[in-house]
Amino acid sequence: MAEGIRLCISGICGQMGTKMFKLAEADRAIGHISGIDLIDNGLVPVHRVSINAADLKSKEIQTVLAQTDVLLIFHDNPLSAAAQAKQAAKKGVAVVIGTTGFSFTDLADIRGLRKKTAIAQTYNFSLGMTVFAKTIRRIASNLPSGYHVEIVEEHHFKKLDAPSGTAFMLAQEICAARGLKPKKAIQCGRSGRSDDVRDNGIVGIQ
C-alpha cells in the first residue's frame, strides 16, 4: 500500500483536472494518483470510462474506488458528478467536488452523503472569492428589504453551464442574508447547459 493519500481525480484530462494533477504531483502528502476520464492525455494511467451515471457501477469504477482515499471530482458533467459522489460515499471514500451546475435536488442529495463520508463541495476554490462571498452576505444583510438585487455575469465561449457556480454561490449568500429560500428566490434569465463549445461561426448572446 502506497504511503500518503491515495487520490483519484475524476476529469483528470480536462483543463482543471490537469492543473489538479500537477498540484497533487508536487504535494508530498499525496502517495498515489489515479484518474477517471473519457480520454487519456498521457498524464497518468487513466481509467477510461463513460461519464454517464448508468455506467458508474462498473467493475472498473468499483476497483478504482477500492484503491482510493479521496475522490476529487472536477469535470463539467453535474449528473455524473452527483452519481460518482454517491458511489464513493458507499465505499467510505472522502469526496471533494468542484463541478458546478447541480440542481437543488442534486445538492440536497450530495449534502446528505455527509452521513456516510467526508464531503467538501464548493462552487469556487479561490480564497479571494470565498472572502468576497462572505462580504456580499454582510452587505446584503444591511440592505433594506425593498432593495432590488441582480447578478450579471459574462464568460468566455467555452463556458457550458449557466448560471456559473460562482454566481449561484453569491446568490445563495444573498438569500441567506435576507432570509430567503434559494429554490424560490433565485430566478435565472438563462439556465441550463450548452451541448457544445461555440465555434467561430456562432455569435453568442448571454
| CA atoms within 13 Å, Cβ hemisphere of 103 | 8
Q: What is the pTM of this model?
A: 0.73
Q: How far apart are CA 137 and CA 127, in angstroms?
A: 16
Domains of the chain in sequence order: 5-121 (3.40.50.720), 127-193 (no CATH)
139 to 132, 149, 152: CA distances (angstroms): 10, 11, 17
Does pLDDT of 27 surpass 80? yes
Least confident of 14-23, 31-40, 157-166: 157-166
**Burial class of residue 131 in the structure, from the number of CB atoms within 10 Å of its CB (0-12 exposed, 13-18 middle, 19+ buried):** exposed
Q: How confident is the model at residue 182 (pLDDT cuts 50, 70, 90)?
A: confident
pLDDT tens by residue, 6-18 = 999 988 888 888 8
Q: Quick one: pLDDT at residue 150?
A: 85
Q: Quick one: pLDDT at residue 97?
A: 94
Q: Which of 115, 116, 159, 184 is catalytic?
A: 159
Q: Which of 86, 90, 91, 155 is catalytic?
A: 155
Q: Quick one: pLDDT at residue 196?
A: 57
The CB density around residue 52, as the number of other CB atoms within 10 Å, is 12
Comparing CA positions, the residue from 33, 35, 84 lying closest to residue 56 is 84
Our answer to whether residue 32 is catalytic in this structure is: no
Look at 105 and 61; give whichever has higher pLDDT: 105
